[in-house]
Structure 1
Amino acid sequence: MNKHIIYLAAGNSRRFGSNKLLHIFHGKPLYQYGLDMVFKFCKKRQDCSLLVISQYSEILQYARTKGIHTADSPDSRKGMSYTVKRAVQALGNIAEEDYIMFVVADQPYLTEKTLERLADQAAPDVETISAIYKGIPGNPTLFSARLIPELMELQGDEGGRKVIRRHACIYVEVEDKKELYDIDEKRQVSPD
C-alpha cells in the first residue's frame, strides 16, 4: 500500500496580495519549508512518492532540481478543484489499495512526525484521514484511491473536505497547533 503525496503549491494567494508561496519567510521562500520536509520524509520511506503541483515555474524548477516529479497546473487560478484534478491525473493509474495525501505549501511548521502518524493510519478499511487540532480539522489529508472518482467530480474552488464529509474519517491530533497554521496574509508572521 503506497502513499502518493501531492504537494499543493499552486494557490492564488488572493488574501495575501501577492504570491505568498514565493514570499521570503524567515530567510527562504515559504513553499520550501514544507517541500524540503516532505522530500526528506519520502526519502526515508519506501511506501511514499512525491509529486509537486504548481502553476509557478520557480516552484516546479526547484522541485525538478531535487529530482521530484512535477505537474504544471495553469488552470489552478480557476479554483482548488482544478489543482486537485490535475494532480490526480498526473499520478496516472494507481492501485486501489493506495492512498493520496495532500500537503499544502503554506504550512511552514508541519513536521515529519505528523506526516508519519498520518501515513501510518492508512489501512484497507480506512477511507479518509485528516490532521486535527482540538476539534479543528486541517491539512494534510489522505484519501483512499477508491475515492478518486469523487475527487475528480469536485468543481470550482471545492477541495477535498467536500469528499471527507461524505465518508468516515480518522482524525490524527497534531502535537502543536503551529503545525496546522497556514499563512494567508502578509501581516501573519507567527501563529501566536
Structure 2
Amino acid sequence: MKGNGIIAIYLAAGRSMRMGVDKLSLPLGTHTIGNSALEEALKSSVHYIIVVTRTEDSLDWIDSNLSRIPIKNKWSHITCSDANKGQAHSLQCGLRAAMRMKPKGIMILLGDQPFLSIEIINELVLKYVELNYEKKDFPFIAAGFQGIPRPPIIFSPKSFPELLKLKGDEGARQLFQRQKLEDGLLIEYSNVRDFLDIDTMKDYEGLKGAVTSHD
C-alpha cells in the first residue's frame, strides 16, 4: 500500500436511539453532524477512509462536494447488515473491508464527534508511523482526555484478532479493559471540545447555537 498505510474506519451506523432521530443528518453550522468530522478526516494525512453505515442510510448527510474527484478517491462507503446488533458489528464490517487493503494500521473515528480537530488525527498518524519505522509495535495509539483513551484510536494489525472478537455494543473501550493500557500509547489532549459527542437532543440544542463553521 502506498502512503502511510493508515486506513480509518468512520463509524456512522448507530441507531441514534437516545437522540430519537438520525443525528448524523442534523444540521450543525453549514454542515451536518455526520459530515463535519468526515470532511476534516478527509483533509488529514490518513491514507484512506471507509465509511460504515446501516443498509438503509441514504447518505444525505454527506455533502455533495465529498463525492467529487479527487476527494472521492480517498474514501468509500460500505453498509453493515448487522449494524443493529451493536457497534462491534459495524466496526468489524469496516475492519474486514480494511484488512483486504493490507493496512499498516486502522484508525477508529466516530461519526458523532463533529469537533474533532485535524491536528489530533495528524499527530496520531505521525506518531504511529514513526514508531512503526522504529519497529516499536504498540497494539494501539489513542488520544486521551483526563487519562481516558478516546477516539481517534489507531490499532496495529496485532490487535485485529481481538477487535474481531468484540460483540454487541462493545467498542474499543472494552478492548482496553482486556489489555493493559501501558501496553499501548496514550497521547493526552486538554481541549474537551475535540472529544464531545452528540448523543441526546439536549446535547445538540446546547451546542448548535455556538457552532462556527469549519469552512
Q: Which TM class, normalised by the smaller chain length?
A: 0.7 to 0.9
**Where in structure 1 are there 5+ consecutive unaligned residues?**
none
Are 2:137 and 1:138 aligned?
A: no
Counterpart Cα distance in 2 of 1:12 and 1:164: 24
Contact 2:32–2:62 (Cα < 8 Å) also in 1: no
Contact 2:139 2:155 in 1 (8 A): yes
Alignment match, 1:51 = 50
**1:136–1:149 distance in 2 versus 1, CA, 3 Å:** closer
SS in 1 for 2:82: helix
What residue in structure 2 maps to residue 105 of structure 1?
Answer: 111
Aligned residues: 187
Normalising by structure 2, report the TM-score. 0.79
Unaligned runs of 5+ in 2: 211-215
Name 1:129's counterpart in structure 2: 141
Aligned to 1:190: 207
Which residue identity is paired with 2:18?
R
Residue identity in the other structure for 1:163: L
CA contact (8 A) 1:54 1:60 kept: no
Answer whether contact 1:60 1:70 (CA < 8 A) is retained: no
Structure 2 residue matching 1:57: 3-state secondary structure: coil
> In 2, Cα distance between the equivalents of 1:95 and 1:22?
32
- Identical amino acids, percent of aligned pairs: 26
Q: Is the 8 A contact 2:31 2:63 kept in 1?
A: no
Residue 177 (structure 1) aligned to one of 173, 192, 211: 192
The change in CA–CA distance for 1:74 and 1:62 in structure 2 (over 3 A counts) is: farther
The one of 27, 31, 41 equivalent to 1:28 is 31
Larger Rg belongs to: 2
TM-score using structure 1 length? 0.87
Higher mean Cα deviation, 132-141 or 152-161? 132-141
Instruction: After superposing the two structures, state which structure 1 stretch, 162-171 or 146-155, moved more.
Output: 162-171
Please provide the CA RMSD for this pair.
2.3
